[in-house]
Structure 1
Amino acid sequence: MSFSTEALARIAIELQSDIGHPDRFSRLITTLRNLLGCDASALLRYEAHQFIPLAIDGLSQDVLGRRFALQGHPRFEAIARAGDIVRFPADSVLPDPYDGLIPGQESLKVHACVGLPLFAGQTLIGALTLDGMDAHQFDTYSDEALRLIAALVSGALNNALLIARLERQNVLLEEPGGDTTTGIQEIIGLSASVMQLKKEIEIVAASELNVLIGGETGTGKELVAKAIHQQSPRASHPLVYLNCAALPESVAESELFGHVKGAFTGAISHRSGKFEIADNGTLFLDEIGELPLSLQAKLLRVLQYGDIQRVGDDRSLHVNVRILAATNRDLREEVLAGRFRADLFHRLSVFPLVVPPLRERGDDVILLAGYFCEQCRARMGLGSVILSAGVRSALTAYGWPGNVRELEHAIHRGVVLARAASGSDEVVLNPQHFTFDGVATPSVQMNAPPAGRVNLREETDAFQRQVIHQTLEKQNNNWAATARALSLDVANLHRLAKRLGLKD
């Protein structure tokens, strides 16, 4: 069976309309699902030996956050190596990466599955996957007809990748599908706030401006710094990390600027500091608000003139370093309180970025949960890790005071508990596998309530208010002690308390 000219024209129109719009591929997937009568379909791009979902239909939302490495998914490896249409036998023994991820279908043991590799010339750039519950669902469609669809989609995907690279002002375009991002962690999310953040990262990355990255603890400020560096002209040079909060004042100057032999007791040899190591590259100063005032003045001099002096050395060295700094403090308040230099603050905050907290990112929590589930599956050698409907509802309703870091730990802990309870490598995460730290809803209260009878967000907020209030009383109204008792960052506790109406 082949497709009508009208059907092919409809696909072509979907692909060409609003060529830069992110919804274009979602519309395409929906059109293909209706045309082919499949129960689930997905468009994925290929990059760094893994497939990354761009658009899905008929699959759980967390699939968009998952990353399917070839070495862990034999079906995707078969598609990547085939060079042509792959029709998997209905009873194929190869594990299906979507098993448990099609709502209403607990198992995909016998079903129709077709993979269409997508190419730009001879280079693999993506794949289109089609699944149907009827084992003979795609038998009537000829390989030639499916190749025609693959050709249309390949052209559109290649154009989208080229446009994305041009938007990043990358004049020397890499080969599509090349392993240019190997080892790079990406910022997962499709919410408006994250899309805006990604746009701002692309803008500032191409410049030489210093950047101040703000945001609560656990939001992913280091990931933003990595993204800026990797998209900058300095990407081929080092990105050097230094946590200012973990830096004893007695050795801080040496860590930053280095020292010469004999400069102080224990200085038995010359040592390069972080600025020298980062020469022509980028220096990421995490928790910059913790840097002592005495060192703030010396850091300001480097930003102004590019000159450093090793401890114990009279000579100056010139370095070419871009500074990315991060803080979970309000540095404007720190300046007013005299704890942070105003001139350094203004030098750093020419282009400030703020990483949004997880509670303001909507459904991104599900995408991130899917990402962490796939990470756990690969690390622990599991067959699958699936989020139940109850867990997805609970994850969305919870406020996440510890942000992405708290979510990551919760998923990893949940997978360990679920695997231990089931004794199987097919893990399904249920509400009882989650006990969030401190102010979270305990497992006994996380069972999904009957529809229309309980507002889970209101119940969660009420429980948080109660726990914070009780703990605050036990700690004699000491907020810092309360934060320690609840295993929370004190700044995050203050923000949570304000949101819950416990303080002005």
Structure 2
Amino acid sequence: MTSNFFRTLTTIVADLSRDIPAEQRYRQLLDAIVGLFPCDAAALLKLEGTQLRPLAFEGLTTDTLGRRFEVAEHPRLQRLLHSRQPVRFEADSRLPDPYDGLVEDQDMELHVHDCMGASLYIDDKPWGVLTLDAMDTGTFDNIDDTELRTVISLTEATVKAAARMDALAAKAEHQLMVTKALLDEKGAGAESEMIGSSDPMTELKQEISVVAQSHLSVLVEGETGVGKEVVARRIHFQSQRSQGPLVQINCAALPENIAESELFGHIRGAFSGASADRAGKFEIADGGTLFLDEIGELSLSIQAKLLRALQSGEIQRVGRDKPLRVDVRIVAATNRDLQQEVNAGRFRADLYHRLSVYPLSVPPLRERGKDILLLAGYALEADQRRLRVQGLRLSEEAKQNLLNYPWPGNVRELNHLLSRAALRAISSQGRDRNIIIIRPNHLGLDASDLGTAQAEAAPSAESQEFIPAVSLEEATNLKDATDLFQRRLIEQVLIHHRGNQAAAARQLGLHRSNFYRLLQRLGLKE
């Protein structure tokens, strides 16, 4: 064994005893491995259900982190995972490589030539895989088998150390794929994973971690399509109620004549068509979480009945006199400004305060920077499965267009746009190719929208308004001068964000509720 190997070994072992975040630990591990076994790309992927999720990588494109590799659809990864011995693939192997087109600084059509890897086991259970790839044939010819096995063992030890030292993070990332109750009337489930590492998303994840462990009601606010439902699920899955049911009801699709029955249930004969007793969503959610989506769409009469249930913790089936006590945590979501709805008389103030004990604002996609590419990678991997094709890849020009577009429909719009683009790319290039490249013409984004987004993303100094100083004639003391300056600054920021109070609060570094109280104090609430 070489002296370089022993130095690398010492570095990896030293990190085992250090209390560092799992993400940093994995990156440092890959850095050491690449230094020991020179290659163009390396990745550490964790097995989650039937998919392998990248946790860290070297030499691959940014959107790789957002991809999820379905094991059954990637024969090389499948072979690695099911072998307890390191596996090296021949340069002329006919098995498609999952990283084709994902290696940085390489032509989109160039295939990976030298590929090897190994499965990782923790406590005799498959945990994931380590992969090494090179563009030149023969790169791995002289790898010492003993050194390789030693590094694999240290990788497994690193993974185990990360799991123990970062238990809370591991719990937050763990996905509960099955709940004990219906998620909606169609019985369709959804994952709680939040894709993104931008500052606004990091802050949101931290807020979720804080409130999830409490019993407080949560109001999730945000534009249409930002992923409020995903936030609600994440709150549930990180809470102490995660083993209980998560029940969802879409208030916007709830006719008023059956809303009470849907929420609280009914007994046989309570009304025309009630042929049998039926439990409502509150009963089904007992011991878990009730997610009230689009809460702002409820009528005032149903709001009053909902408020009584939240205040007393008791519900009453339609047609029954005896109340039933339930233990339910409420998470509500809306794309409306409920405070404005209260001011307009369309939403009860007492219900608003009951729901918004802990408000969370989900940032729009246009404020999330390169999260767009991670979300694109996640969506395209799902499209590959649905469309039964391989290697959906974005050209560099297409990536830039995605970053420049304002996304009025947010994540939902991004997913739909990519699905359409994938179909166009498949139609023009054929579905039998190993790599199908999505180009700007497949996206179909309007050039004027892209130009507007670029201008908004980088405003010139001339385009920014000047905030006038406060003169002695306008304010005779420091408090009045401070209030006047704050009022002018907030007005300018609100204009810049087109009246979006959540975005303005983020720019000013204020919590949403504190920002609204400041607006009230300064007389700017309208």
Q: Normalised by the shorter chain, which TM-score bucket?
A: 0.7 to 0.9
Partner of 1:479: none
Partner of 1:126: 128
Q: CA deviation at 1:90?
A: 1.5
Tell me: CA distance 1:192–1:155, structure 2 relative to 1, closer, same or farther (3 Å): farther
Q: CA deviation at 1:102?
A: 1.2
Task: Give structure 2 stretches of 5+ with no counterpart.
Answer: 179-189, 460-496, 505-525
Tell me: CA distance 1:62–1:265, structure 2 relative to 1, closer, same or farther (3 Å): same
Partner of 2:76: 75
Partner of 2:443: 434
**Residue 384 of structure 2 corresponds to residue 384 of structure 1:** no
Contact 2:43/2:56, CA 8 A, preserved across alignment: yes
Alpha-carbon distance in 2 for matches of 1:33, 1:159? 21
Partner of 1:92: 93
Alpha-carbon distance in 1 for matches of 2:325, 2:174? 36
- For residue 84 of structure 1, give the secondary structure of its aligned residue in structure 2: coil
The one-letter code matched in structure 1 to 2:119 is P
Contact 1:59/1:101, CA 8 A, preserved across alignment: yes
Q: CA deviation at 1:16?
A: 5.3
Partner of 2:472: none
Tell me: CA distance 1:62–1:420, structure 2 relative to 1, closer, same or farther (3 Å): same
Alpha-carbon distance in 2 for matches of 1:186, 1:29? 24
Q: CA deviation at 1:40?
A: 0.9
Partner of 1:158: 160
Percent identity between matched residues is: 48
Tell me: CA distance 1:415–1:15, structure 2 relative to 1, closer, same or farther (3 Å): farther
Range with greater deviation from structure 2 (73-82 or 417-426): 417-426
Match of residue 275, structure 1, among 282, 294, 304? 282
Match of residue 367, structure 2, among 360, 370, 389? 360
Partner of 2:56: 55
Q: CA deviation at 1:241?
A: 1.1
CA offset digits 1:431-487 (Å, max 9, x no partner): 000124xxx437xx97xxxxxxx997129999xxxxxxxxxxxxxxxxxxxxxxxxx
Match of residue 300, structure 1, among 302, 307, 310? 307
Q: CA deviation at 1:269?
A: 2.6
CA offset digits 1:317-374 (Å, max 9, x no partner): 1111111100111112222222222221222112221111111111110000001110
**Residue 300 of structure 2 corresponds to residue 290 of structure 1:** no
Q: CA deviation at 1:213?
A: 0.9
The one-letter code matched in structure 1 to 2:139 is Q
Contact 1:168/1:202, CA 8 A, preserved across alignment: no
Match of residue 191, structure 2, among 184, 188, 193? 184
- Residues 23-38 of structure 1: matches in 2 within 5 Å? 23-38=24-39
Q: CA deviation at 1:268?
A: 2.8
TM-score by length of 2: 0.79
Tell me: CA distance 1:460–1:364, structure 2 relative to 1, closer, same or farther (3 Å): closer
Partner of 2:381: 374
The one-letter code matched in structure 2 to 1:296 is Q
The one-letter code matched in structure 2 to 1:394 is N
- For residue 90 of structure 1, give the secondary structure of its aligned residue in structure 2: coil
Alpha-carbon distance in 1 for matches of 2:230, 2:416? 17
Q: CA deviation at 1:390?
A: 0.6
Partner of 2:423: 416
Tell me: CA distance 1:163–1:34, structure 2 relative to 1, closer, same or farther (3 Å): same
The one-letter code matched in structure 2 to 1:139 is D
Alpha-carbon distance in 1 for matches of 2:281, 2:21? 41
Contact 2:250/2:292, CA 8 A, preserved across alignment: yes
- For residue 229 of structure 1, give the secondary structure of its aligned residue in structure 2: helix
Alpha-carbon distance in 2 for matches of 1:283, 1:455? 40
Alpha-carbon distance in 2 for matches of 1:71, 1:86? 17
Tell me: CA distance 1:493–1:309, structure 2 relative to 1, closer, same or farther (3 Å): farther
- For residue 236 of structure 1, give the secondary structure of its aligned residue in structure 2: coil
Tell me: CA distance 1:138–1:455, structure 2 relative to 1, closer, same or farther (3 Å): farther
Alpha-carbon distance in 2 for matches of 1:387, 1:169? 33
Q: CA deviation at 1:411?
A: 0.5
Partner of 2:138: 136
Contact 1:372/1:408, CA 8 A, preserved across alignment: yes
- For residue 256 of structure 1, give the secondary structure of its aligned residue in structure 2: helix
TM-score by length of 1: 0.83
Q: What root-mean-square deviation, in Å, do the aligned CA atoms of Structure 1 and Structure 2 show?
A: 2.8
Q: CA deviation at 1:425?
A: 3.4
- For residue 23 of structure 1, give the secondary structure of its aligned residue in structure 2: helix
Tell me: CA distance 1:81–1:169, structure 2 relative to 1, closer, same or farther (3 Å): closer
The one-letter code matched in structure 2 to 1:432 is N
Q: CA deviation at 1:239?
A: 1.2
Range with greater deviation from structure 2 (13-22 or 196-205): 13-22
Q: CA deviation at 1:226?
A: 1.2
Contact 1:418/1:433, CA 8 A, preserved across alignment: yes
Alpha-carbon distance in 2 for matches of 1:14, 1:167? 18
Tell me: CA distance 1:433–1:199, structure 2 relative to 1, closer, same or farther (3 Å): same
- For residue 4 of structure 1, give the secondary structure of its aligned residue in structure 2: helix
CA offset digits 1:291-336 (Å, max 9, x no partner): 1111112111111211111222222111111111001111122222
**Residue 255 of structure 2 corresponds to residue 248 of structure 1:** yes
Partner of 2:149: 147
Task: Give structure 1 stretches of 5+ with no counterpart.
Answer: 171-176, 447-453, 463-491
Alpha-carbon distance in 2 for matches of 1:408, 1:360? 17
Partner of 1:218: 225
The one-letter code matched in structure 2 to 1:235 is S
Alpha-carbon distance in 1 for matches of 2:194, 2:432? 28
Partner of 1:484: none
Q: How many residues align?
A: 452
Q: CA deviation at 1:107?
A: 4.1
Alpha-carbon distance in 1 for matches of 2:308, 2:85? 60
Partner of 2:11: 10
The one-letter code matched in structure 2 to 1:116 is A
Alpha-carbon distance in 1 for matches of 2:355, 2:456? 42
The one-letter code matched in structure 2 to 1:35 is L
